[in-house]
Every structure is written in C-alpha cells, then in structure tokens.
Amino acid sequence: MTELEEYYNKFNEEKRLNSRHGQVEYRVSMKYIHEYLDEAAAKVNNAAASVSEVKLLDIGAGTGRYSVALAEEGYDVTAVELVKYNLGILKQKASSVRALHGNAMNLKKLENDSFDVTLLFGPMYHLFGFEDKRKALGEAKRVTKPGGVILAAYCMNEYGVITYGFKERHVLSCMEEKRFTEDFKTISPPSALYDYMRIEDINALNEAVGLERIKIISPDGPANYMRPFLNQLSDEEFEAFVQYQLATCERADLIGAGAHTVDILRKRPF
C-alpha cells in the first residue's frame, strides 16, 4: 500500500467537503462545472435528451462527491480513482457512475476525444515534479473532445507557506531543511503527500500541454484560513459568505492567496 493510499484510508474527503469551508469550495466549483455542462448540452441537437448525452469524466474522483451528484442530475458520468478504498465507497453508492480504477497519468481504459467536460480535481495535489503533472494534464486533454473543457485543481503555494510555515510554526525548520526557497516557494518531498503551485507554474504546464485558459478561479478564497470563524456564523451569515466568494472568485488579485485554484481550460478544436 502506498503512502497516498494509507492517507486516504484515514482521511474523510466527504466530511471535508461537507464542512463549511468545504461547502464553499464545492458550491463555487459546482457553479463553474454547471456552466460548462450547460454549454455542452446546448450543442446537443435533441434538447430533451441533452443532459443524458453530455459526457463528464471525473479523474481522481475520490468517493464520488462530485461525480455521484452530477450523475443524479442525469449526466453520463465516468469516474477514475487510484485509491481502492475510495473507489469501493464510490461503488457502494449504487449510482449510474461508471467507476474505474486507474492512474491520472495513464488513462489507458479511456479512448481519445470522449468527454465534453473533464474534472482533474485531486491528482495534481499529489503529483510531484513537472513531468508527472504534465502527463496527467496531457491525458485529460487526450480524452476530452475537441472544443471540450477541462477543470484542473491545484493546491497553492502561499497557503502552504502561511498555514504550515507560519501558523503551525514550521517556518524555521523548513528554511533550514531547504523546503522553502529564498522567495518562499515550497519544495515538497513526495513523503509530504501534497505539492504546491504558483500561478506561473500552472501557466507553464498549460503551455507545455497546449491548452487554452478560459479563466482561473479561487473556489475557496479565504475560507480555509477562517475555518473556526465560518463555524460561528449563522446560516444566513454563512450564505452571505458563499455569495461573497462567488462574487470574488475570479479576481486576479486574490486567486493565488487561497488554498486552491481551479484552472478552466479548453481543448482547441481541430
């Protein structure tokens, strides 16, 4: 069993996405997922069958928080998950999701140009080095239809530095161990499980793979910094915070500061 599998055997991803900070990330992400699912559905000639004819791929689907919900809305959903424990939970939900065991860097079970919308929400957190990330993004591109959309999520560098380095007071040891560069870019060993990115790193990946950015968003903004405070808000106040994040998630001056980004990309038509 790999360290990643051991981690997810213990880590409850569904609980995270159901927490208040997780709900912010989920609701903002779903808004944009639906925007591009709607775009794909509009291209289908038979309007009555348009939703069921839209094909979505969820790479690194975890226990199915996104894929099961979207399948229940009627979309044709395929999910790929590396961790067998997560895959087992996903399959137990008895949804219409076609759930496959697989690796984001080699989607050998899937054909070229098959999906209207592709989600790559988990793998980029745990892939180390430019080449492995390039392979995963390249595979997402390969299986997405020409003109289709890929939504790729990343963990952001500054959140890691501020939270782990300063809030949890590991900054001096990280500097001594050369886990931060002089300009505080993280250098994560694979044993750390998570890798962190800056916008310029994401841009370099897109250029290497040949994908065109539509927009890039911060799905959670300050939510992860504010976990205890979000839990103290009334339901009405929390809803106002979600609306705040929906209103500000595309602001270029805020995007890199959050815990995550979602890069929304188009595969160029032939």
Contact between residue 229 and residue 189 where contact means Cβ atoms under 8 Å apart: no
Whether 75 contacts 96, CB under 8 Å: no
Nearest Cα to Cα of residue 115 among 68, 90, 150: 150
Instruction: Give the confidence band of 94 by pLDDT, cuts at 50, 70, 90.
Output: confident
Locate 255 and state its tokens: 């995007």
Contact by Cβ (8 Å): 161, 129: no
Distance CA 171, CA 164 (A): 7
CB atoms within 10 A of CB 42: 10
Q: What is the pLDDT of residue 12?
A: 64
- The model's pLDDT over 241-257, given as tens digits with 9 standing for 90+, comes to 999 999 999 999 999 99
Asked whether residue 1 carries a pLDDT value surpassing 60, the answer given is no
> Is the pLDDT at 223 greater than 80, yes or no?
yes
Q: How many angstroms separate the Cα of 135 from the Cα of each of 11, 83, 122, 148, 192?
A: 26, 19, 14, 18, 21
Q: Does residue 50 register a pLDDT over 60?
A: yes
Q: Does the structure show a pLDDT above 60 at 236?
A: yes
Place of tokens 């430019």: 130
Give the model's confidence band at 191: pLDDT under 50 very low, under 70 low, under 90 confident, else very high. Answer: confident
Structural tokens at position 147: 């003109």
The amino acid that residue 169 corresponds to is R
Strand runs labelled E in the chain: 55-59, 76-81, 98-101, 115-120, 144-155, 212-217, 260-266
Residue 218 phi, psi (nearest 5): -105, 105
Instruction: Indicate the length of the chain as a whole number.
Output: 270
Contact in structure between 92 and 151 (CB atoms under 8 Å) = no
Q: Quick check: 5 pLDDT over 70?
A: no
> Which pLDDT score is estimated for 215?
98
pLDDT value at position 74?
95
246 Rama sector, left if φ>0, alpha if ψ -120 to 50, beta otherwise:
alpha
- Give 259's Cβ-side CA count (13 Å radius): 16
Predicted confidence (pLDDT) at residue 13 exceeds the cutoff of 70: no
Tell me: pLDDT of 47 over 70.
no
Q: Is the pLDDT of residue 219 over 80?
A: yes
- Residue 44: what pLDDT? 80
Residue ranges and CATH numbers for the domains of the chain are 3-156+197-266 (3.40.50.150), 157-194 (no CATH)
Question: What's the pLDDT score for residue 190?
Answer: 75
pLDDT surpassing 70 at residue 48: no
Name the DSSP letter for residue 258.
Answer: S
Q: State the Cα–Cα distance between residues 122 and 7, nearest whole angstrom.
A: 13
Q: How confident is the model at residue 133 (pLDDT cuts 50, 70, 90)?
A: very high
Chain mean pLDDT for the chain: 93
